[in-house]
Structure 1
Amino acid sequence: MNLIEIGYKEFFGTEKIEPLVGRISFANRNNYKVICEESEFSCTLKGSLVYEITNESEYPVVGDWVKIKPIDEDKGLIVKVYPRKNKISRKVSGVKVAEQVLAANLNNIFICTSLNENFSFSRIERYLFAFSYEVNPIIVLTKRDLEVNYMEYLKQVRSRFPNVNSECVSVVDGSISVLEKYFTEGSTSVLVGSSGVGKSSLINSLFQKELLKVGETNKKIHKGRHTTTFRQLIYIGEGKGCIVDTPGMRELSIWNSDSGDTSFSDIEELSNYCKFRDCTHTVEKGCAVIEALQAGKLSKERYNNYLKLVSEEEFINSQKNYFTRKKHNEKIKEKSKKH
């Protein structure tokens, strides 16, 4: 495998390939597949690296660059994990407060939603709020052949998110070709969205080969069964880079955010005119956001969704700080017992 094609130069800034450096294409617990220049290796993490890990988010994930030590013809040991340039994360499902890193070292994130009952501005805002702070986002409206007024949807999306590239496509009319420009040599893209929005079909049709598995479609709701169960890095082809296929998300809880710069750029712009710098946009006099809401220049639905996501982010941050302090105090107690 030519590692330049899957992002080596993009990450390291050189075309000189270092021996036994590779990229993780599959990760499940302590089992990894690593693509190297020489071959693909099934690997585990070196014991000393496991010992140094303090939380789950530090384990290698799909997209990470690593160095390995071969222990067999196709088996190896990961002996070094290179610092990430970026990552996309969410809070783990349930009540536990912990970070789940979904993928690392990305260029583009395609936020996919289909033009059927799956379509939701609030869902798009949540994905942008959660993921666009370190990666270039592209909103992709899929299955436009199912909606006669698809251009009106696209117009609304572009109006609502003016700082984000947005496309409207279908696998049956050739319109997916507009996505080709985002796939370049060394680039890494990831597709996210609910199950059944057509992510796998979209990629297979765009590159005219079965890169991703596609499930059967329910003809009544025009929704496919989700077939991806693990995240995996897939090489697309010469000059096209690679893509991370992810399972559909039933739950997306915020971990980090773009603070509204991309998802709520209009509200962020209005906040510059608020009387107080620390304005919460809820009760303050002289709040430009509230004034826009009262004047009908900002929809109540969008305003409420903004407050909801900001509140969720603040709660998660408070929980992070609590557990950080708790771990710090536990370490101090441990050290004091030894003396």
Structure 2
Amino acid sequence: MTRTVLATPYAPTGATGGSRRVISLLAALDRLGPVTLAYVPFSGEEPSRELARLEQLEIRPVAPSRGLARLRTYTRARAAGAPDGFARGASAELASVAVEAAGPDGRIVADGLSAGAALLGVMRRRPVIYCAQNLESGFRGELDDGGGSAGLERFERLLLRRAAQTWVPSPREVALARELAPGADVLHVPNVVDVARIATVGPRRGARRLLFAADHTYPPNRDALGWLLDEIMPAVWAREPAAILTLTGRGLPDDLDRRDSRIEARGFVDDLPAVYAASDAVLVPLRQGGGSPLKFIEALACALPVIATPKAAAGLELVAGEDYLEGDDPDGLAAAAVTAFGPVGDQVGAAGREAAERRYSLEALTEILRAA
């Protein structure tokens, strides 16, 4: 059977949305045939233990070069147009291991811009799939590399044109990618969760507990947190004074508990399912970013009503008012939260779970990759 090699410049620990996407891809690919994860260890991090249950997965850590060899790789990536930060993450050794593991007939998938930079030369010799975490130039501002967002856009255009196929996480980014590189082969490969392994929440406790779960080191999530604390929750409390806000995820500020007694700042938690089980609804108040938020999909799979902005839902094929509740300003989000606390919230939660099973499950992803 044909082997697929997924090359990534970091260990997929599961702690970030990007690494969760990699883990889901590996799980789906494992159902289709032998698969190799080639990754560059960083600061001693190890791949998620979830990967141990994949029967056809081979894991290959790659030691990157140092000194002059590393400088040559960086220089080549920069000459090809890779922005500074992504060029620094490029590893010639990662490309070499990917080619060796795939053999002459295997399939290679480059995860993200740094892996794409490392495999640009390989793309001239054999087909390589570029897996985008997001279409970065679609939402990023200036980069500190002198090239700015225009430089990033040029590099993404090069990858889209040179890759045999590009996988992006949302229909919106399919359109953006085709606009950026007309004629490129672009496939919608959504972010998913293992819906079958996620227990539904119910019955809800009626505690009027709202949850915002996110990686707060990610700039769009930091912006959402500030908006949530400064404007959205005051609007919620004007309607429901007893509502409680639970915050989880790494990178939370230290003083949030002192800001208001109705805020529970939990930080990174090992047992997030228990936090979902104690919640009445989930907030996804994003104003920036691309792709499809995995915590949104996770909440849908829990059968919890999700309250989200149009921006947060833009990467998902969902119906506002049926699969989730939508608001585009603090008052609208607060009104949606009040609705979520009532019987409508149960209906929306059940519809969201069905949508997750249909479109954002591991089974759905497997069928997409089977046809890719």
Q: TM-score range by the shorter chain?
A: under 0.3
Bigger Rg over Cα = 1
Higher helix share: 2
TM-score computed with the length of structure 2 as normaliser? 0.24
Higher strand share: 1
